[in-house]
Amino acid sequence: MTEGRIHSIQSLGTVDGPGVRFVVFFQGCPLRCKCCHNPDTWDLSGGKTMTAEEIVEKAKKYVDYFGSDGGITISGGEPLLQCKFATEIFALAHQNGINTCLDTSGCILNDNVKKLLSVTDRVLLDVKYTTDALYRENVGCSIDTPLKFLDYLNKKQIKTTIRQVIIPTINDKVEDAMALKSLLAPYSCVDKIELLSFRKICSVKYDQLKIDFPFKDIPEATAETIEKLNEYLK
């Protein structure tokens, strides 16, 4: 069995996919989003090693809590960096009747990723911004990267939740919500859009790593802003 590098595990998570979920945070990410909440997951050589078998054995202890909607979510970091390992976890989860959910930025799409998606029940895909300029400036890749990923999810009709962090002064206006709505309109695989508030509790992680938090001076998004934007996404 492949060994993978894990940042941490949350046994009973309720915010990363449907129902109650066993959430495995992978180590390693090739992107450097300026709003990143988890810079401590970036380094692929960090964290601890585990096998897929060890992870699924651990998850099985919580099946009674999963109910009909819950299951295993893999998040990060960027799980696609350890695609083979992720595929082993999901294949084993399916063998045990456990639902699988992949939380990703959609930054890699190759044959191995397609194999992973063949054992994925739901994808939580970040669409961080709606313009190429904002993507290039604040994520470091073209908007075409996640959109190509979304094209594939649509082709395979894999259930998809789109997630976007709302960042005041950057993507918190009504026009931004309208642009997101029209960008996603052609994709019938998308059955949910989740807007998340930009938070700065992660500042302490940047301090510990002795790296600059590029968005440190941007205010956090309020619940009222999220509520207002959600109205336009209905």
Query: Interface residues with ligand SF4 (CB under 6 A)?
Result: 29, 31-33, 36, 38, 41, 76-78, 105
Least distance to ligand SF4, CB of residue 162, Å: 14
Q: Which is nearer to ligand SF4, 34 or 94 (CB)?
A: 34
Q: Which is nearer to ligand SF4, 4 or 77 (CB)?
A: 77
CA distances from 233 to 171, 179, 187, 227 (A): 14, 10, 14, 10
Q: Which is nearer to ligand SF4, 38 or 230 (CB)?
A: 38
Least distance to ligand SF4, CB of residue 76, Å: 5
* Token reading at 24: 């495995």
Q: Which is nearer to ligand SF4, 61 or 216 (CB)?
A: 216
Distance CA 201, CA 172 (A): 19
Residues near 111 by Cβ (< 8 Å), separated by ≥ 6? none
Least distance to ligand SF4, CB of residue 118, Å: 23
Asked if 177 and 185 touch (Cβ cutoff 8 Å), the reply is no
Least distance to ligand SF4, CB of residue 127, Å: 12
Nearest alpha-carbon partner for 144 in 158, 161, 130: 130
